[in-house]
Structure 1
Amino acid sequence: MTFSSQHLLFLSLLLTGTIMAVSSPSWFMAWVGLELNLMSFIPLITSKTNQYPSEAALKYFLVQALGSAFIILSAPLMMNTDVFVSMLLMALLLKLGAAPFHSWFPSIMEGLNWTQCIFLMTIQKIAPIFLISHLISQTFVSKFIIFSSILSALVGSLGGLNQTSLRKILAFSSINHLSWMLIAMLLSDYSWLIYFFFYSVISSSIVIFFNLQQYFFFSQLFTNPFTSLTKSFTSSFALLSLGGLPPFSGFIPKWIIIEAMAYNHMFFPLLVLILSALITLYYYLRIAALPLLLMTTKTKLLSPSPPQLFSSYLAPLFLFFNIFGLLIPSFFLFL
């Protein structure tokens, strides 16, 4: 996606809507921020030359409009606090793409390019998840969030097993990571903010690598003769870090949440999250290991790859961040 002046304008409006929704003093202003965020994101994912982003934009608009309609519908029910909060929670979970309202997320991810996927996986999650964190004071809200978290963990782990599209794999991976963030909201704001930061940086590094290499399907990872050893190590470490394999950086937020859940005696949700993380780590390992195993010196000698920006600047930076947990893991334990 090339950034023209129109794209920069809509991107600034998207960020403005997100900030407005997060910092709003009332639910009405939060709804206005969500609508501004929605209406500025639609032009960013439409394309005149390709029908798939336009189809994804239409699906995204219909789903988000349904969520906004639930928010508007909850306004006359403010006198009944339980019904009002329940409808708000369902609307925000729908906008977030959490289970059981998750079915739209993988299909829309499949129709976007990699740059647009970064926005959908990171920036578009900020406002709904912040607003959900304001609702957890209610007891039944906490129970429904635990239910949604367990369901998201199962859907995200099992849904990505038989996928060959990298965008769908990252979509189901995002749903699985969303389960950890929902549980972290019940523990402390510090926990889910740390998790969201690590998830955003690590997943963005993977998407940037796939975008530069123009990888969209699993088979392309080990059929491209121009992939260097540095790029393969960088992408493999990023995938293992996203899966939460110790001692990579992606394990640090999982470690914090596991310790907090054990302290609060949330053993059954913790068991489900750990088992789902192991399943997701399986298809991360499948993506990460094959390019390294099938790369030979003969292939590299016959097809030398030209120097690129990723190899010279971005690869060492992402490589350092993904092994950051190996260098100083104890720093975060004393915060």
Structure 2
Amino acid sequence: MFLTPSHLLFFSTLVFGMMMAISSSSWFTAWMGLELNLLSFIPLITSETNRFSSEASLKYFLTQALASAMILLASSTMTTGVMFSPYLMSTALLIKMGAAPFHMWFPMVAEGLGWLQFIILSTIQKIAPMTLLSYTLETSHWLIMMVAATSAMVGALGGINQMMLRKLMTYSSIGHTAWMLAALLISESLWLTYFSVYCLTSTTIVLFFFYKQAYHLKHLTSSALQTPKQSTIMFMSLLSLGGLPPFTGFIPKWITVQELAVSSYMFLVFFLILGTLINLYYYLRLTLSSFMMASPMLKWQFIQESSMSNMNLFMMLLNILGLLLSPILFMIN
């Protein structure tokens, strides 16, 4: 994706727009940063080799333009003391990040993206809306809590019957958005911790799919794409993303649940844990089918596997880091 100077330029302006939005001192400047971020991401989506990219970029632009118009309306009415302005602002930011029940555009856009663009959409594009949402917590506290509970269930139930890997990862991202919103209710540092671990675990899996050019469940069960060693790596990575102890993805969820329980958010904790259990169900279904349906290896597959050894080792170290950190955190607590 980032092979041409134009792509590097648009990615640089995308990051600059994000930084401009999160460091702004007024809603108008934040809106300008979000618009720069939007206009920089659309050229990165467009691809001559992907016939669905134009449709995805149009859907993304229309949705984000609607949310931007809502931000302008809310920011202009905040000075007049209108009661619904903070809720309108929070709703616009929730639309931009794809949280349920404002998530309908997210799976449709993700279906037309490549894996590298999907990484940006599910990680970098959430930073600015999440940061700006933290400024409205005092007035829209209950709205964010209800959206977090809804996102946990939508992200869990939406991925059960998905055979397309991009949609499965999309609903997984919606489920993790619920955890990020819940962490944001506690503190920004907790949200940053959860977001950082989510970026690491999800990026390793998406890069694995990108390297193997896997877009459907059957691609993972093909003998030409999967070996026992790679199946084990993917198995551990998905369980880490799902938050199964003692993998890396479990640590921020453990801390978040503890903080939510101390703050008496037991209603929200119930939906978050229930959604995580359902997520683990379809992660296990995905990995077990990959193990059980894979054909015996051919000789040329050993060459393919050895070329991925460095990446496999890197992914393994990231996702089993929790095996080392969990006993330490347990002793501290």
Match of 1:327 in 2: 324
Asked if 1:316 is matched to 2:317, the reply is no
| Contact preservation (8 Å) 2:227, 2:305 | no
- Figure out how many residues of one structure are paired with residues of the other and give that number: 331
Which residue of the partner structure matches residue 51 of structure 1? 51
Cα separation, partners in 2 of 1:202 and 1:192, compared to 1, 3 Å:
same
The residue type paired with residue 269 of structure 2 is L
Distance, in Å, in 1 between the alignment partners of 2:309 and 2:283 is 25
* 1:300 counterpart = 2:302: no
Distance (Å, rounded) in 2 between the aligned partners of 1:244 and 1:325: 10
Equivalent AA in structure 2 for residue 10 of structure 1: F
Aligned residue number for residue 94 of structure 1: 95
1:286 aligns with 2:285: yes
In structure 1, what is the equivalent of residue 257 of structure 2? 258
Contact 1:244 1:251 in 2 (8 A): yes
Q: Where does residue 213 of structure 2 map in the other structure?
A: 214
d(CA) in 1 for partners of 2:290 and 2:305? 19
Distance 1:224 1:57 in 2: 34
Cα deviation for residue 75 of structure 1 reads 3.0
Aligned-residue identity in percent: 46
Contact 1:237 1:288 in 2 (8 A): no
- Residue-by-residue CA offset, 1:213-268 (whole Å, 9 max, x unaligned): 01001111112334222221111111000000011000001000111111112111
Distance 1:99 1:137 in 2: 21
Residue 127 (structure 2) aligns with? 126
Q: CA deviation at 1:311?
A: 2.1
- Partners of 2:276 and 2:307 lie apart in 1 by 29
Q: Is the 8 A contact 1:226 1:305 kept in 2?
A: no
Distance 1:232 1:127, change over 3 A: same
State how far apart, in whole Å, the 2-side matches of 1:59 and 1:120 are. 13
TM-score, length-scaled by structure 2: 0.95
Taking the TM superposition and a 5 Å limit, the aligned residue runs for 1:267-282 are: 267-282=266-281
* Alignment partner of 1:40 is 2:29: no
1:44 Cα deviation from its structure 2 partner: 0.3
**Within 2, Cα distance between the matches of 1:224 and 1:70?**
49
Output the CA distance in 2 between the equivalents of 1:8 and 1:205. 22
Q: Is the 8 A contact 1:99 1:155 kept in 2?
A: yes
| More divergent stretch after superposition (246-255 vs 321-330) | 321-330
Cα distance in structure 2, aligned partners of 1:161 and 1:310: 33
Alpha-carbon distance between aligned partners in 1 of 2:200 and 2:237, rounded to the nearest angstrom: 10
SS in 2 for 1:248: coil
The 1:317–1:302 alpha-carbon spacing in structure 2 relative to 1, beyond 3 Å, is closer
Deviation for aligned residue 1:292:
2.2
